[in-house]
Chains A and B, each alone.
Chain A
Amino acid sequence: MAAVTGLGGIGGVAPPAARLRARRGLGRGRWRELRWWRLAVLVVVGAYFLVPLYAALRFSFSTTTGGWSVSAWTSLPAAQGFGPAFLLSLRLALVATVLTVLLVVPAGLVVHLRLPRLRAVMDVATTLPIVIPPIVLILGLLAAAPPWLKATPYLLALEYAVLGFPFVYRSLDAGLRAIDHATLVDASRSLGGGWMVTFARVLLPNLRTAILSGTVLCVALAFGEFTMASLDQYQTFPVWIVNFDQSNSPQTSVAASIAALGVTWILLLGLSLLGGGRKRRPRQTDDAGGATP
């Protein structure tokens, strides 16, 4: 397989480019026939997702007397308890994300490059945190954790790190599929680079976008996690939104909800646009290598 990829590299980008062109040509021929159903699907599903967002936005700008006001948004940072709750969630998200990246990236890379037999095990291990109910985890955690650990909110961060595993691993996995990692590693090794050098100076720069997008998902998860935080009785940002609702300004808590959603989305979209320009070439080599992995 390495030979096939090598040929693609030496013979220029002609074969994959030709294939891409063929694929696009095929797409254009069927474009007319596909257009209406694609449009219909995206409009209907888009409406399901956008109408609630629009309704909530509208509500956050409304006043009880029927007028319009931006006060819910402008008063948000000064609302009681907002600062501490926001900072706590931010700290927990940071700790969890750093832990997840430090644990998952080396393990994921080694499994992919040097221990391919463990890939199936890794897939299962990183699916478990998605399907094991958080409520079961927090129940067991509170029963098993020593008191000194239960006394600090960072217990939550330690558990959020596990919940982040699937997202960072899956992004890393997708990133490794998109680059021709076998050739990169071979090239680096044959030029005398040790494994550390290969990881740090060849693979990581190529996987930066993939790891970053996994990281953002991990931050989003840790920042928005409610079940465990509320049952562990710490006032994180999502718990604050709920408690704040009981006071007088529902507009402010709706604004806070939208803000939490919007910030993550913009961050993730920005990352994907940043990575777009760099991704194009490796993807062609991947097409050439077809069955390489």
Chain B
Amino acid sequence: MIGDTTTAATAVAPAAATLAGGGGDAARGAGLLRARRRRRGLRALPVLPFAAYLGVFLVVPAIAVVVGAFESPAGRPTLANLHIAATGTYRQGFVTSLELSLITSLVPAAVGAVVAYAIHVGRPTSLLRRVTVTAAGVFSQFGGVPLAFLFIASLGTTGLATNWLADVGIHLDALGFNLYSMSGVAVVYPYFQIPLMVLVLLPGLEALRPDWREAASNLGASSRQYWRYVAAPALAPAFLGATLLLFGFAFAAYATADALTSGSLPLTAIQIGSFLNGNVIAGQQNVGNALALGMLVVVGAVMALYLVLQRRASRWLR
């Protein structure tokens, strides 16, 4: 219905304008303005289904989680869930999750940045670039049990790499490494984090225009000075933003840690999973919601920081 009237208006408006010619400028202006306003409404039409879908499948579940966090199993408002979620093993879960996310975002971010730069300086059509970029797309979505299999086959107690290292005198278990614990998870996460970093950072590197390097060297800057005063400040927001995204991704990860440690590592995501699997103490059914709310708060903080940095980054991308 909206569509009909607007098309009619847009079709009539130019005709009316030609008819009016030089005279009746005011009327013509008003008509055009009205038509333009309607058009703007129509323009947004294809965005509406997208926004509605996002609302139903992203916002509604989030609201359901938040509401559940403040409800007792009988449906009465309570703060008990939050209290339980902020103490004891659940508190430890948050601490472990944050620690793990910090390690598995900072290290892969640094490595991923170097890889992205190594790809960036190559020709854009080279086979190496195509292979790495497509591989990054696939590997960033890899996780869970299949990923655990790959590492059990290489770094498990009788794994291939474990044996290779033992042959040259490096015994991983003597060094305190255990694939099925925190140290193992920290070694496995970069398998999807580094590719994600490459994917996210590569477009940001395009912002580093070759003219800047030329300009810097024309002005007598050394390579080090170029990096220190031109490239690093220009790339910093994009790099930090991507690192935050990695942090959020590591924090959200569930399947891989669950598969490797059989759910024994005290991570918040795994704790929520055990609530969903029905391992609940009577009266604590909604503590899972409180834990999920805690995760949402962390994610919200990360996103807010990400936005601030993204705004600064876009200044250079223009």
Contacts and interface: CB of A to CB of B under 8 A. Distances in A.
B234 interface: no
A248 to B, nearest CB: 16
Given A26-B210, A124-B303, A174 B203 contact: yes
Nearest to B66: A140
Given A51-B160, A56-B153, A124-B303, A131 B61 contact: no
A282 B307 CA distance: 31
Interface stretch (A4-12, A72-80, A84-92, A254-262): A254-262
Contacts of A107: 46-47, 49-51
Given A55-B159, A55-B160, A268-B137, A238 B43 contact: no
A52 to B, nearest CB: 4
B65 A140 contact: yes
Interface in B262-312: 269, 272-273, 275-277, 288-289, 292, 295-296, 299, 302-303, 306-307, 310-311
> A19, A52, A134: which has the most chain B beta carbons within 10 Å?
A52
A53 B125 CA distance: 26
A109 B122 CA distance: 30
A159 B123 CA distance: 38
Contacts of B65: 136, 139-140, 143
B141 interface: yes
A83 interface: no
Which of A58, A142, A257 gathers most chain B CB within 10 Å?
A: A257
B255 interface: yes
Nearest to B112: A45
Given A226-B145, A257-B145, A261-B142, A130 B118 contact: no
Contact of B43 (A22, A26, A115): A115
Contacts of A142: 276
Interface stretch (A63-71, A185-193, A202-210, A213-221): A213-221
B138 A220 contact: yes
Nearest to A259: B146
A125 B54 contact: yes
Contact of A273 (B130, B155, B288): B130
A31 B31 CA distance: 62
A37 B128 CA distance: 15
A130 B248 contact: yes
Interface residues on A, range: 35 or more
Contacts of A99: 53
B214 interface: yes
B73 interface: no
A133 B121 contact: no
Chain B contact residues: over half helix, strand or loop, or mixed? helix
Interface residues of B, number: 88
Given A144-B60, A217-B137, A276 B125 contact: yes
A52 B189 CA distance: 13
B276 to A, nearest CB: 5
Contacts of A132: 58, 62, 252, 296, 299
Interface in B145-193: 145-147, 149-151, 153-155, 159-161, 190-191
Contacts of A34: 121
B62 A131 contact: no
A38 B310 contact: no
B259 interface: yes
B42 to A, nearest CB: 10
Contacts of A242: 144-145, 259
16 contacts: A19-B210, A42-B118, A52-B150, A56-B149, A106-B46, A107-B47, A110-B43, A114-B43, A118-B47, A127-B303, A133-B269, A136-B292, A140-B62, A143-B64, A162-B57, A224-B142
Interface of A: 19, 22-24, 26-27, 34, 37-38, 41-42, 45, 48-49, 51-56, 58-59, 99, 103-104, 106-107, 109-111, 114-115, 118, 120, 123-125, 127-144, 158-159, 161-162, 165, 174, 177, 213, 216-217, 220-221, 224, 226-227, 230-231, 238, 241-242, 245, 253-254, 256-258, 260-261, 264-265, 268-269, 271-273, 276, 279-280, 283, 290-291
10 tightest CB-CB pairs across the interface, nearest first?
A140-B61, A257-B146, A131-B248, A133-B252, A55-B154, A107-B50, A106-B46, A55-B160, A52-B150, A144-B64
Interface of B: 43-47, 49-51, 53-54, 57-58, 60-65, 68, 111, 114-115, 118, 121-125, 128, 130-131, 133-135, 137-139, 141-147, 149-151, 153-155, 159-161, 190-191, 194, 203, 209-210, 213-214, 245, 248-249, 251-252, 254-255, 259, 269, 272-273, 275-277, 288-289, 292, 295-296, 299, 302-303, 306-307, 310-311, 318
Given A139-B275, A265-B134, 14 more contacts: A24-B123, A27-B123, A41-B118, A52-B153, A56-B149, A110-B45, A130-B245, A132-B296, A133-B269, A138-B276, A139-B289, A143-B65, A144-B61, A241-B146
